[in-house]
């Protein structure tokens, strides 16, 4: 037995991805990409600050979206939150009314019956409104604005009612407390009107606030004229203006925050919808090259590999979302010459698997009179039929080898009827090729061989990999095909034993002693039971030529996200989904919304697209489902389209009718091979509808008329595109509305973010850390709803309150003490410093100020969680501390104006603690409560001796020492503190709600980018990148290449290593995987950029060069690609020499055949896209390998004129080559020392890069 030694380093695993194809997705790149797209599609002037994304112009006094449909949907979606705020306001009014009624009864003033009755009536009316919102919600929804305004005027009227009561002699002495208490109620009413009462526009609230404040001051001046002075009036007016400014700020931020949350959540739902499209497309592409279970392992292994490398460098565990920020595929580290580290390897041994090989009999004669281009078209037609049959019969297509087609059943998913599936597949293939002969006028047949046994299934290599099977039973199945008869299904004895009760067989006669030693084989005569036979559709080749280049559909958008991949044996199994996301399906729009989209008059004829042979995509048709259909500059919205694959043509208005036939199929030199429109291509069409994150979409449609397609986030530079962009934006708004209306799971996001009820911390610690660090980032286009701008606005309000506190304190306390002056100096310095830092950041953002590292560092430090709380609490406390610092017993004993003003300022500045919503709500509220208790202590005379009161100061609070006055002040402080707690909690909830909505949108955008890159990466491992770009916009690809290089490299002695008695042969294939992986790594080197891997066939590696016309045009020499392919062959010899150092008692032998000439490259297949090359040069290169010499590179004679300029050759002589007769062949000796740029340019050898 051969002994193999595989040296590994502990715990180290190789990544299978090369540098050219790895996916690198960082946060910075994502942010930069998204900002670039936004800037290109929706330019915004920095000189005009917007309230929020998509805000209407001049909407400061009435914030609204620039789209009527968005605004209307916002009002519907946010109504629950608005209703909740209104209920809170009613509860607070009820509580206040009851407390005031109880207080009036307790104090026992002469007017207590009237006051108590008025408070109870107000409580009863408020309670009736509350019940209306709870049990008659429909009535409230229809009259929400009327009820809100009625509540405001009701509360305002009852708060002004005490002024109408005639004062009693006893109350005249206590009018000072009445004036202070009524002013506290006035401020509370103003704050309530701006924050919690109803869906009223801001300007209407401002009008109400101004009228109410004016009425209050007028009535207070005339009713309480004996306790009012001009100084007190001026102080009250300044305080009311401050509360108005605070209320406007709160209302403005609430409106912008709610709209910003709505828009971000809507974006998140749109992205999630696009995510479903990408997921569906990715599943289709994955299944094009491998079964879902293998693809699931591939993606899982990739993510785990990246996680291990990340966690090795940093011991902190990663949050799942962090995986979206890091590179998905890590670049493999170089391998040393004496070390072999294992790559991820997926190979499973499966028993009870049936293998089918089918070969086209007469293919050689059919191809003898056709060009390679025509041959590819015929193969694509035929193999497209086989793909369809393979899917229907429960088989898994493995690959095609020239004109040979092979598939398996019972692998990778076991199934008990695997033998029957393969036999039915074989019989259907024979029927299909007869229909092919009728359609195309050919005369070919099928030879099918089937064997049942054990296989090893999995993936070998890291580039252009595919799912494949290996075993001796696979070889035997191939032999069953080669020894069969045309038009017959040849089965082995093992397969025969499994089908005795279902088919009639004819035993193959054995001739001679050699045949008697072989196992018996059988031909299938016919079925025993015909009732269960599938009805196979007839295929018409001319239909393939009539497939249009593009089909605008929205079927993928409506597909169920949990639908299994096509071809899965268990339709209920969705475990193979690469990424589970919540369904974001969308309901139909109203007829009114749909009618808006059909206002355009589209002129043009109709174009008929016939249904394809591909499996139809799910199409959940709805009568009004118009949103999400694809636009282009000339096509209208596709309306009620029938399901794909249904009978009859699909008619799309807006394009001239085209007629195609086989006679015109090859009329253009650069025309591609027409392929059956695959479901993957249809999915790609739908996924090209990219939704811009600021409300715009763009589409990509492939058009043969030469009109430039708009793909992704294109920049629209022409005037006609402007109206188109507006239409696209409107369409995106309607899509968003549909998603929001349907996604009930996200309805709670508009009301209840995922936070703890008590602390309001996010339940997810990762989100909480992001919330705390949200102020550290910058936005390219900030709005008023941006976190940094809310800080600027809160700081501005704090500066206003501080300025008012200074002015009013100097007005009320003409002789300030040293404590107050010292405090003012420190506070003024702090406010000026904070204002300068904020102003500098605003100017720097607008580009009017040069960035300064010192200011930037200071600002970023202050925006951190702890410094922000310290600075915020300081700015909140400064106004009321300025008032408290003026407290002096002597002045309060001798100046009743000072004691009244002290209370007025304290009540107003208690409400200032609702500012700075960035600071934790319980901290602000706790400080406000402490300040209120301090006010009670000051007013209650705790710090003063009342014996020092004089006769003229009896009107001062401290000298009256009345329990009723203390009780009045305490009641107002308690109710004000409750209001502060309520507002602070609601503001922080709204702030966290807005952040969470933006966070969801951001994470979905990152996931979408990851899925797109994964899909591209997977597709580029099936089909070269330059081919993919054409397949995205058209259903065809084939291209003629002149003087392309082809290489076949075979490991001639791998069969000696392969031994199924050792781990079933799995470890032997691991060795092959490592070796092929080393060959694949060579392709990532820049010196081999013109070399493309085609495929691996068992132990044979096939590559070509010169297949990318763009690269050929960039090459310094017309034959650079040929020289690179020879260098690649030499490098393969070096790789296998190094690899043999890790094997004991065994050495691999490499044999390489080379040729160059004219070839045709194309993509064939429907459900299984397959990229390959055809031509005489391909056959010659294969023969050069088959008839070559071990450890040598063999080339035909016609290649010498080109290659001899860089390499030396030795003649091997003339030898017979199958299919080529006698040929003169040569062996490569060595490479010359010439530099490529020094080779003389020979015009006669110049070959166009592309025909």
Lowest mean pLDDT among 486-490, 667-671, 1167-1171: 667-671
Task: Indicate if the pLDDT at residue 127 is higher than 90.
Answer: yes
Query: Quick check: 1212 and 1226 in contact, CB under 8 A?
Result: yes
Task: Indicate if the pLDDT at residue 176 is higher than 90.
Answer: no
At residue 412, the pLDDT reads 86
Task: Indicate if the pLDDT at residue 1041 is higher than 80.
Answer: yes
State mean pLDDT over 856-879.
87
Scanning 1050-1199, the segments in alpha helix (DSSP H) are: 1054-1057, 1066-1082, 1109-1114, 1120-1140, 1176-1186
What does the pLDDT look like over 803-848, one tens digit per residue?
Answer: 999 999 988 887 778 888 888 999 999 999 888 888 887 777 665 5
Packed helices 865-884 and 787-812: angle between N→C axes, nearest 10 degrees: 20
Round the average pLDDT of the chain to a whole number and report it.
Answer: 73
- Residue 1037: phi and psi, rounded to 5, are -160, 125
Q: Considering only CA atoms, which of 1021, 1065, 1079 is closest in space to residue 464? A: 1021
Lowest mean pLDDT among 73-77, 225-229, 342-346, 1237-1241: 1237-1241
**Is the whole-model pTM more than 0.85?**
no
Query: Quick check: 198 and 86 in contact, CB under 8 A?
Result: yes
Query: Quick check: 1144 and 7 in contact, CB under 8 A?
Result: no
Sign of CA dihedral 1005, 1011, 1012, 1014: positive
At residue 605, the pLDDT reads 33
Binning pLDDT at 50, 70 and 90, where does residue 765 land?
A: confident
Ordered DSSP codes for 250-280: HHHHHHHHHHHHHHHHHHHHHHHHHHHHHHH
Q: What is the C-alpha to C-alpha distance for residues 172 and 965, in angstroms, rounded to an integer?
A: 13
State mean pLDDT over 73-81.
81
Residues 6+ apart with CB under 8 A from 616: 555, 643, 644, 645, 646, 679
Residue 29 burial (CB count, 10 A): 13
Residues 6+ apart with CB under 8 A from 1068: 1057, 1058, 1059, 1062
Q: What is the C-alpha to C-alpha distance for residues 1091 and 1046, in angstroms, rounded to an integer?
A: 9
Helix (H, G, I), strand (E, B) or coil at 915: coil
Most confident of 85-99, 299-313, 631-645: 85-99
What does the pLDDT look like over 706-739, one tens digit per residue?
Answer: 333 333 333 334 445 556 667 777 777 787 777 7
Task: Indicate if the pLDDT at residue 535 is higher than 50.
Answer: no
At residue 253, the pLDDT reads 87
At residue 582, the pLDDT reads 36
Is the backbone of residue 381 left (phi > 0), alpha (psi -120 to 50) or beta?
A: alpha
What does the pLDDT look like over 879-932, one tens digit per residue?
Answer: 999 999 888 776 666 667 777 888 899 999 999 999 988 899 999 999 999 999
Q: What is the C-alpha to C-alpha distance for residues 236 and 239, in angstroms, rounded to an integer?
A: 5
In this predicted model, which residue has the larger pLDDT, 419 or 161? 419
Query: Quick check: 21 and 1021 in contact, CB under 8 A?
Result: yes
Binning pLDDT at 50, 70 and 90, where does residue 286 land?
A: low
Is the backbone of residue 1030 left (phi > 0), alpha (psi -120 to 50) or beta?
A: alpha
Query: Quick check: 400 and 1172 in contact, CB under 8 A?
Result: yes
Q: What is the C-alpha to C-alpha distance for residues 366 and 517, in angstroms, rounded to an integer?
A: 37
State mean pLDDT over 923-945.
85
Q: Which token pair is 1213?
A: 């002589």
| Residue for token pair 């300044």 | 238
Residue 1130 burial (CB count, 10 A): 15
At residue 1144, the pLDDT reads 79
What does the pLDDT look like over 999-1016, one tens digit per residue?
Answer: 877 787 777 777 777 777
Query: Quick check: 345 and 1070 in contact, CB under 8 A?
Result: yes
At residue 959, the pLDDT reads 60
Lowest mean pLDDT among 265-279, 440-454, 561-575, 1051-1065: 561-575
Give the side-chain half-sphere CA count within 13 A for 467. Answer: 27
Task: Indicate if the pLDDT at residue 315 is higher than 70.
Answer: no
Q: What is the C-alpha to C-alpha distance for residues 244 and 247, in angstroms, rounded to an integer?
A: 5
Q: Which token pair is 924?
A: 């602000």
At residue 981, the pLDDT reads 94
In this predicted model, which residue has the larger pLDDT, 1065 or 370? 1065
| Residue for token pair 């009780």 | 967
Q: What is the C-alpha to C-alpha distance for residues 1005 and 713, in angstroms, rounded to an integer?
A: 14
Residues 6+ apart with CB under 8 A from 306: 15, 323, 326, 327, 328, 329, 330
Q: Which token pair is 286?
A: 């994955």
Q: Which token pair is 252?
A: 């403005």
At residue 487, the pLDDT reads 92
The H-or-E segment that residue 236 falls in is helix 230-287
Query: Quick check: 45 and 34 in contact, CB under 8 A?
Result: no
Query: Quick check: 988 and 756 in contact, CB under 8 A?
Result: no
Residues 6+ apart with CB under 8 A from 539: 381, 384, 385, 388, 432, 435, 436, 439, 613
Question: What single-letter DSSP state applies at residue 1018?
Answer: H
State mean pLDDT over 119-143.
90
Query: Quick check: 1173 and 1094 in contact, CB under 8 A?
Result: yes
Q: Considering only CA atoms, which of 676, 685, 560, 689 is closest in space to residue 618? A: 560
Task: Indicate if the pLDDT at residue 853 is higher than 80.
Answer: no
At residue 141, the pLDDT reads 84
Binning pLDDT at 50, 70 and 90, where does residue 181 land?
A: confident
Packed helices 79-107 and 112-135: angle between N→C axes, nearest 10 degrees: 160
Q: Which token pair is 468?
A: 């494949």
* Alpha carbon distances (Å) from 1079 to 18, 167, 1050, 1076, 1101: 11, 101, 12, 5, 9
Q: What is the C-alpha to C-alpha distance for residues 738 and 588, in angstroms, rounded to an integer?
A: 7
Q: Which token pair is 273?
A: 């919808």
What does the pLDDT look like over 333-356, one tens digit per residue?
Answer: 344 444 446 787 878 899 999 999
Question: What single-letter DSSP state applies at residue 1227?
Answer: E
Binning pLDDT at 50, 70 and 90, where does residue 698 land?
A: very low
In this predicted model, which residue has the larger pLDDT, 942 or 951? 942
């Amino acid at each position: 037995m051969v002994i193999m030694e595989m040296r590994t380093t502990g715990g180290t695993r190789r990544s299978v991805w090369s540098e050219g194809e790895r996916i690198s997705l960082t946060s910075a790149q994502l942010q930069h990409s998204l900002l670039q797209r936004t800037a290109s599609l929706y330019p915004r002037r920095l000189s005009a600050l917007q309230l929020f994304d998509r805000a209407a112009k001049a909407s400061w006094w009435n914030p609204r979206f620039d789209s009527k449909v968005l605004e209307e949907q916002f009002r519907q979606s946010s109504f629950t939150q608005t209703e909740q705020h209104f209920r809170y306001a009613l509860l607070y009014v009820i509580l206040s009314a009851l407390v005031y009624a109880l207080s009036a009864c307790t104090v026992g003033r002469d007017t207590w019956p009237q006051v108590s009755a008025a408070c109870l009536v107000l409580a009863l009316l408020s309670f009736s409104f509350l019940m209306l919102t709870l049990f008659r919600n429909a009535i409230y929804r229809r009259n929400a604005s009327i009820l809100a305004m009625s509540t405001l005027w009701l509360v305002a009227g009852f708060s002004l009612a005490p002024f109408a009561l005639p004062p009693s002699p006893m109350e005249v002495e206590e009018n000072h407390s009445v004036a202070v208490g009524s002013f506290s109620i006035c401020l509370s009413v103003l704050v309530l009107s701006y924050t919690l009462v109803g869906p009223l526009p801001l300007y209407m609230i401002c009008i109400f606030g101004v009228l109410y404040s004016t009425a209050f001051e007028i009535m207070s001046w005339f009713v309480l004229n004996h306790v009012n002075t001009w100084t007190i009036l001026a102080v009250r007016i300044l305080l009311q203006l401050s509360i108005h400014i605070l209320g406007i700020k709160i209302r403005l931020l609430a409106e912008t925050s709610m709209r910003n949350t709505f828009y971000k959540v809507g974006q998140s739902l749109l992205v999630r919808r696009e995510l479903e499209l990408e997921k569906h497309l990715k599943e289709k592409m994955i299944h094009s090259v491998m079964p879902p279970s293998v693809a699931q392992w591939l993606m899982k292994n990739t993510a785990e590999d990246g996680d291990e490398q990340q966690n090795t460098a940093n011991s902190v565990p990663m949050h799942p979302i962090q995986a979206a920020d890091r590179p998905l595929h890590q670049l493999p580290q170089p391998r040393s010459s004496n070390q072999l580290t294992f790559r991820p390897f997926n190979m499973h041994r499966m028993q009870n698997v049936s293998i089918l090989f089918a070969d086209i009999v007469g293919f050689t004669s059919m191809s003898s009179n056709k060009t390679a281009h025509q041959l590819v078209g015929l193969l694509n037609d035929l193999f497209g039929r086989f793909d369809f049959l393979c899917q229907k019969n429960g088989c898994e297509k493995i690959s095609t080898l020239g004109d040979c087609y092979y598939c398996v059943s019972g692998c990778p998913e076991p199934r008990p009827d695997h033998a029957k599936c393969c036999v039915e597949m074989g019989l259907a293939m024979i029927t299909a090729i007869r229909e092919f002969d009728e359609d195309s006028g050919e005369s070919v047949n099928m030879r099918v061989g089937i064997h049942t046994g054990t296989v090893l299934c999995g993936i070998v290599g890291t580039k252009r990999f595919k799912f494949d099977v290996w075993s001796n039973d696979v070889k035997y199945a191939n032999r069953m095909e080669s020894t069969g008869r045309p038009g017959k299904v040849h089965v082995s004895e093992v397969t025969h034993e499994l089908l005795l009760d279902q088919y009639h067989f004819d035993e193959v006669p054995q001739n001679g002693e050699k045949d008697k030693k072989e196992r018996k084989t059988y031909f299938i005569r016919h079925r025993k039971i015909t009732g269960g036979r599938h009805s196979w559709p007839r295929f018409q080749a001319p239909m393939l030529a009539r497939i249009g280049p593009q089909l605008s559909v929205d079927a993928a958008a409506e597909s169920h996200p949990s639908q299994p991949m096509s071809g899965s044996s268990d339709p209920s199994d969705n475990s193979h989904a690469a990424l589970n996301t919540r369904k974001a399906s969308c309901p139909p729009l109203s007829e009114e919304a749909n009618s808006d989209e059909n206002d355009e008059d589209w002129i043009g004829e109709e174009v008929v697209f016939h249904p394809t042979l591909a499996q139809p995509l799910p199409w959940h048709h709805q009568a009004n489902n118009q949103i999400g259909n694809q636009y282009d500059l000339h096509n209208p919205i596709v309306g009620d389209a029938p399901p794909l694959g249904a009978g009859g043509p699909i008619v799309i208005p807006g394009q001239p009718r085209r007629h195609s036939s086989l006679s015109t199929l090859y009329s253009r030199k650069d025309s591609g091979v027409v392929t059956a429109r695959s479901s993957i291509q249809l999915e790609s069409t739908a996924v090209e509808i990219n939704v811009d994150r600021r409300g715009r979409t763009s589409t990509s449609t492939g058009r043969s008329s030469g009109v430039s397609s708009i793909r992704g986030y294109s920049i629209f530079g022409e005037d006609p595109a402007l109206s188109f962009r507006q239409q696209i934006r409107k369409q995106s708004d309607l899509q968003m509305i549909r998603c929001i209306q349907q996604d009930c799971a996200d309805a709670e996001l508009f009301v209840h973010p995922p936070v703890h009820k008590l602390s309001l911390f996010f339940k997810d610690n990762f989100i909480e850390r992001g919330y705390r660090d949200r102020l550290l980032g910058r936005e390219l286009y900030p709005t008023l709803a941006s976190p940094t701008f809310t800080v600027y606005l809160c700081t501005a309000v704090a500066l206003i309150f501080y300025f008012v506190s200074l002015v009013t304190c100097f007005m009320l306390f003409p002789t300030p003490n040293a404590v107050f002056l010292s405090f003012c100096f420190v506070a003024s310095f702090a406010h000026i410093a904070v204002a300068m830092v904020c102003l500098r950041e605003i100017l720097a953002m607008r580009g009017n100020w040069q960035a300064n590292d010192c200011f930037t560092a200071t600002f970023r430090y202050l925006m951190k969680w702890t410094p922000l709380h310290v600075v915020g609490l300081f700015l909140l406390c400064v106004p009321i501390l300025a008032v408290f610092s003026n407290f002096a017993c002597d002045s309060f004993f001798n100046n009743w104006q000072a004691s009244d003003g002290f209370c007025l300022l304290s009540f107003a500045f208690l409400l200032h603690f609702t500012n700075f919503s960035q600071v934790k709500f319980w901290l602000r509220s706790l400080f406000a409560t402490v300040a209120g208790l301090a006010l009670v202590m000051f007013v209650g005379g705790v710090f003063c001796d009342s014996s020092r009161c004089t006769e003229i100061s009896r009107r001062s609070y401290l000298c009256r020492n009345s329990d009723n006055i203390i009780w009045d002040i305490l009641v107002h402080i308690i109710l004000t503190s409750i209001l502060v707690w309520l507002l602070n909690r609601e503001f922080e909830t709204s702030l966290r709600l807005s952040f969470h909505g933006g966070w969801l949108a951001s994470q979905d955008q990152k996931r979408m980018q990851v899925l797109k890159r994964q899909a591209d990466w997977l597709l580029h491992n099936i089909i070269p990148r330059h081919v993919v770009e054409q397949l995205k916009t058209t259903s065809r690809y084939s291209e003629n290449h002149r003087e392309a290089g082809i290489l076949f490299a075979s490991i001639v002695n791998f069969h000696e290593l392969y031994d199924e008695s050792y781990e079933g042969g799995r470890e032997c294939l691991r060795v092959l995987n490592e070796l092929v992986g080393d060959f694949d790594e060579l392709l990532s080197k820049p010196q081999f950029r013109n070399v493309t891997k085609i495929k691996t066939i068992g132990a044979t590696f096939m590559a070509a060069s010169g297949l990318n016309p763009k690269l050929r045009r960039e090459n310094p020499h017309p034959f650079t690609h040929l020289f690179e392919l020879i260098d690649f062959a030499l490098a393969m010899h070096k790789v296998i020499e190094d690899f043999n150092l890790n094997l004991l008692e065994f050495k691999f032998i490499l044999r390489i055949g080379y040729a160059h000439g004219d070839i045709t490259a194309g993509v064939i297949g429907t459900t299984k896209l397959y990229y390959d090359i055809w031509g005489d040069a391909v056959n010659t290169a294969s023969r050069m390998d088959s008839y070559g010499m071990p450890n040598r590179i063999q080339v035909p004679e016609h290649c010498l004129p080109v290659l001899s300029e860089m390499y030396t050759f030795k003649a091997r002589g003339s030898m017979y080559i199958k299919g080529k007769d006698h040929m003169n062949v040569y062996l490569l000796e060595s490479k010359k020392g010439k530099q490529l740029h020094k080779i003389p340019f020979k015009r006669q050898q110049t070959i166009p890069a592309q025909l």
